[in-house]
Amino acid sequence: MRLGGLVLGNYCNINDFEYPGSLQINEGDQTTVYIQLVDLNKKLCADLNGSCYLRYIPDAPASLIITVDSIDDAQVITKVATQVSASDPSIWCFVLNSNETLGSANLHLQLTEPGPKVSSGVINNAILVNMVGSGNGQSFC
């Protein structure tokens, strides 16, 4: 198994969400980020939005630490993710607080399963932040 993940958009429940490729958020907004763990060794198809992979369901109990990149080492964010539903343990989430929305970022994943079995992966360009201009109402990507 080679750990990877997909960012989920418009998440309502385990049967109602989208695969946007990247999650676009606004600077200063509190945002719940949903991801689905996948096995990058199990490619199912390729489409215009990229590739689709078989979801990965970790052995219980599992924990997932997510590190949100920053070009400024002092602003790297580490979060403990939670499983969204016992019905689909491949889906996890974490909250970015309004003061933590910094800039566009990759997500580094560290999954720990019984054994202990530790797997690492990355979701490149997972979060794209619309930066609000200084007082002029402009947004920048």
Task: Tell me the HSE value of 100 on the side-chain side, using a 13 A CA sphere.
Answer: 17
Q: Which residue has the higher pLDDT, 13 or 102?
A: 13
Residue 100: predicted pLDDT: 84
> Kind and range of the H or E element at 52?
strand 50-55
**pLDDT at residue number 52:** 82
Average pLDDT over residues 119-136: 81
6-18 confidence digits (pLDDT tens): 999 999 999 999 9
Q: Residue 36 above 60 pLDDT?
A: yes
Mean pLDDT calculated for residue range 52-69: 94
| Of 65-69, 87-91, 100-104, minimum mean pLDDT range | 100-104
Strand partners, 52: 45
Residue 22 has pLDDT above 50, yes or no: yes
Whether the per-residue pLDDT at 140 is higher than 90: the answer is no
Q: What is the pLDDT of residue 67?
A: 96
Tell whether the model's pLDDT for residue 62 goes beyond 80.
yes
Question: Is 5 in contact with 35 (CB distance < 8 Å)?
Answer: yes
Query: Which CATH number does 3-140 carry?
Result: 2.60.40
Residue 21 has pLDDT above 50, yes or no: yes
